[in-house]
Amino acid sequence: MTTSAMHDDHHHEPPAGWQRWVYSTNHKDIGTMYLIFALVMMFLGGGMAMVIRAELFLPGLQLVQPDLFNNLVTNHALIMVFGVVMPAAAGMANWMIPLMIGAPDMALPRLNNLSFWLLPMGGTLLVLSMVVPFFGGGAPVTTGWTLYPPLSTQAGMGMDLLIFTVHILGISSILASINIIVTIVNMRAPGMSWMKLPIFVWAWMFTAILLVLIMPVLAGAVTMLLFDRHMGTSFFDAAGGGDPVLFQHLFWFFGHPEVYVLLLPSIGVLGTVIPTFARKPLFGYKPLVGGMAFLATLGMVVWAHHQYTVGMSLAATKYFMIVTILISVPVGLMIFSFILTMWRGAMTFETPMLFAIAIIVMFSFAGVTGVMLAVVPADLQYHDTYFVVAHFHYALIPGALFGLYAGVFFWLPKWTGHMYDEKLGKIFFWWTTLGFNLTFFPQHFLGLAGMPRRIVDYNIQFTEFNVVSSVGGIIFGLSHILFLYIIIKTVKGGEKAKDQSWEGAMIGTPGLEWTLTSPPPHHSFTVPPVVK
């Protein structure tokens, strides 16, 4: 190697044009790509939900074939979980964790590039899984996101594509999680001790640990399914000595903690937003960190509360009921922690704070219906009804999605260097909250009255609440056009953001992001900052 080549090695400019993105090792650019990917997938998965609500608007409609309807239900869920919430939360992790802890970038920048670029591949397979049945690929996947056999062993080629989707997206999240854990452990600025970590960073630490523990189990389960489908094994086939319930255990060993993977990053956002707009430090920082650890641990040992109806032993059923109800302890702790942060604070109600308060109210409601579903004799009645659909949409839309919206509005000024339009932000908040409640609140009543979930048509006694739910769905869906407009408007221009975008941002356990300009320079910290 010549001297000049060596010299060049040390002074390479960041690649420009498309190469800036495809070859990117920069945590901010990769974070942006994650967020854009999530936004695109949200319109795809949301569009599917709109078709579902259109089909259920009135009894007797047949806008889509029953098998296609069930396939829409399957892919809507998988897209929202793996294509929207996880990538959006990962985008925020990428953007904020290095800035908050004073690191120049993620610990493993090339791995970061790979983690992101696996996503569009997995996303493509996920979409193709719905397309192949139209081109002679066999029966559509009608299982729902749980992919239970024997239905999933009988589905066509779409199921194989979904199995590979899970493999690829699983590799992506495991690599991203390893990167996040290594970054938090090794890349903190001098003085950034564990108990000074911003709460968002803690939340992502637990999220990443959960992901590393659970993704391999799901990958193993779907690989066994692949073997049952093509290699002549019968892990899940009773006729060959297997057991279909085994798949349910493996799936929910992943599936329940996965819910916390979706919720925890948003809890981290709440812990950031609420102290800022209450102008008070977070109440109970250490108990909150402990509460998240307790929540993550408990979340690993409650999985079979999704399977009360399969005929488990009474002892096992009782165990799963009791540990599930115990979850209300750390969740209650978090909610009280947030309420007491607001107590006697000098509160203002900018868009992120409006979302934060609404989340506390609506998520608590999901907590109450969650306890109802945890109780075995009650669950035997609610199981597989719309009550469950209403419950988990109340948990996941406020708990995960709205938390991410709060984060988007909170950090857009930091990311783009421009303030978003506060008036439009507030309109979006009220519009989307109204639409959400109108869509999902009536579904509780539908479930209590016995309407089954994952069904293309229904008895006329369920008409009224379905009409309300579908009208709500249109309102909820359309609000996201305003969301997109606000984001584009903010990226293009507007009032310049100050380095410390929000007045209360330095209160409590602030991240080091506020010591940088808005937007931050391409290379965040050339000299590691010192935390006092």
Which stretches of the chain bind Cu ion, using CB under 5 A?
Answer: 256
Determine the residue type at 403.
Answer: G
Q: How far apart are CA 51 and CA 215, in angstroms?
A: 30
- Least separation in angstroms between CB 420 and Cu ion: 35
- Closest contact distance (angstroms) between CB of 204 and Cu ion is 21
Backbone angles phi, psi at 306, to 5 degrees: -90, -5
- Tallying the residues shown for the chain, one arrives at 532
**Which residue, 35 or 302, has its beta carbon nearer to Cu ion?**
302
Nearer to Cu ion, 84 or 323 (CB): 323
Structure token pair of residue 78: 């998988």
Minimum distance, C-beta of residue 319 to Cu ion, in the bound complex (Å) = 14
For the bound state, the minimum distance from the C-beta of residue 180 to Cu ion, rounded and expressed in Å, comes to: 24
Quote the least distance from Cβ 460 to Cu ion, whole Å: 33
Give the nearer residue to Cu ion in terms of CB position, either 283 or 392: 392
Structure tokens at 149: 């056999």
Cβ closer to Cu ion: 69 or 145?
Answer: 145
User: Of the two residues 95 and 394, which places its CB atom closer to Cu ion in the complex?
Assistant: 394
Buried b (16+ CB within 10 A) or exposed e, 169-191: bbbbbbbbbbbbbebbeebbbee
* Cα distances (angstroms) measured from residue 515 to each of 39, 100, 194, 398: 28, 9, 20, 31
* Residue 34 vs 303, nearer CB to Cu ion: 303
Least gap, CB of 251 to Cu ion (angstroms): 11
Q: Which is nearer to Cu ion, 251 or 465 (CB)?
A: 251
> Please, which contacts does 214-218 make with residues 24 or more away whose CB atoms are closer than 8 Å?
214/253, 214/254, 214/257, 214/258, 214/261, 214/300, 215/170, 215/173, 215/174, 215/177, 215/254, 216/170, 216/174, 217/250, 217/253, 217/254, 218/166, 218/170, 218/250, 218/251, 218/254, 218/255
Specify the DSSP element, H or E, that contains 124. Answer: helix 109-131
Tokens of 380: 């035997």
Least distance CB 377 / Cu ion (angstroms):
18
**How far, in Å, CA of 56 to CA of 62, rounded?**
9
Distance, in Å, from the CA atom of 177 to the CA atom of 188, rounded to the nearest integer, reads 17
Q: Which C-beta is closer to Cu ion: that of 256 or that of 480? A: 256
In the complex, the smallest distance separating the C-beta of residue 256 from Cu ion, rounded to whole angstroms, is: 4
- Residue 381 CB, nearest approach to Cu ion (Å): 18
CB-based contact 470:443 (threshold 8 Å): no
Which CB sits closer to Cu ion, 318 or 496? 318
- CB nearer to Cu ion: give 28 or 256: 256
Phi, psi of 361 (to 5 degrees): -65, -50
Alpha helices in 307-402 (DSSP H): 314-326, 328-342, 351-374, 376-382, 386-396
Q: Which two tokens stand for residue 325?
A: 């109800």
Q: How would DSSP label each residue in 159-170?
A: HHHHHHHHHHHH
**Closest residue to Cu ion: CB criterion:** 256
Q: Which is nearer to Cu ion, 95 or 303 (CB)?
A: 303
Nearest to 438 by CA among 466, 409, 410: 466
Smallest separation (angstroms) from Cu ion to the CB of 321: 12
**What CA–CA distance (Å, rounded) separates 515 from 44?**
37
| φ and ψ of 385, to 5 deg | -110, 175
**Shortest separation between residue 249's beta carbon and Cu ion, angstroms:** 13
- In the complex with Cu ion, the residue whose CB is nearer, 256 or 414, is 256
- For residue 78, the surrounding DSSP H or E stretch is helix 66-78
Interatomic CA distance for residues 78 and 159, integer angstroms? 13
Q: Which is nearer to Cu ion, 53 or 256 (CB)?
A: 256
CA distance 126 to 164: 9
Q: Which pair of structure tokens corresponds to residue 133?
A: 């049945």
Least distance from Cu ion to the Cβ atom of residue 25, Å: 37
Q: How far is the CB of 331 from Cu ion (least distance, A)?
A: 13
